Homo-oligomer: A and B are copies of this chain.
Amino acid sequence: MQYSKSTDYALHALLHLARPELRNNVGIKELSGMLEVSESYLSKIMSKLRQDGLVRAVPGANGGYELARPAEDISFLDVVQVIEGRQQMFECSNSRSRQHRLLAEEEDGREPAPSRGSECLVEKVMNGAEQQLHQYLREHTIQSVLDEALQRGGFQAAKKR
């Protein structure tokens, strides 16, 4: 149960792209140098970020990447979901077991919302917990972290140049 390294890389790449001193189109070489990750691997990740609309990419000389939307509109949740996927963390395996029949038995008779996903009690807890996680990640954006970094005096070395 760990986030993949790709998530780590993606977050840091986006944080770099969001740097204030933006002269458009940051190349893979620069990113790779910053994060100290191989160009080949990082480019795969950037490609995924592009496919999901988080960054734009332009090939050719002077090409590179830039954010596709303002940094305050890119939440940590966005990034995590692009890399880790959107399936839920808990997925029941044996919903046909005898155990299930006892736990998910509906009260006899009317089933109020047949269209609803009919979440069982275990899933209710696990999915509820995941929603808490998502809510928190949704509230923190690339921009908010960047702001905090500037406030704390980070990025000074770069700004002084």
Contacts and interface: CB of A to CB of B under 8 A. Distances in A.
A122 B12 contact: yes
Contact of A34 (B97, B128, B149): B97
Nearest to A31: B99
* Residue among A1, A93, A156, A157 having the largest count of chain B Cβ atoms under 10 Å: A1
Interface residues of A, number: 62
Interface of A is mostly: helix
Q: What is the count of identical protomers in the complex?
A: 2
Given A3-B89, A15-B103, A121 B98 contact: no
Contacts of A125: 76, 136-137, 140, 145
Interface in A1-40: 1-5, 7-8, 11-12, 15-16, 33-37
A46 to B, nearest CB: 15
Given A130-B133, A132-B135, A145-B125, A101 B157 contact: yes
A2 B91 contact: yes
Interface in A79-133: 80, 84-85, 87, 89-94, 96-99, 101-108, 121-122, 125-126, 128-130, 132-133
A75 to B, nearest CB: 10
B8 A129 contact: no
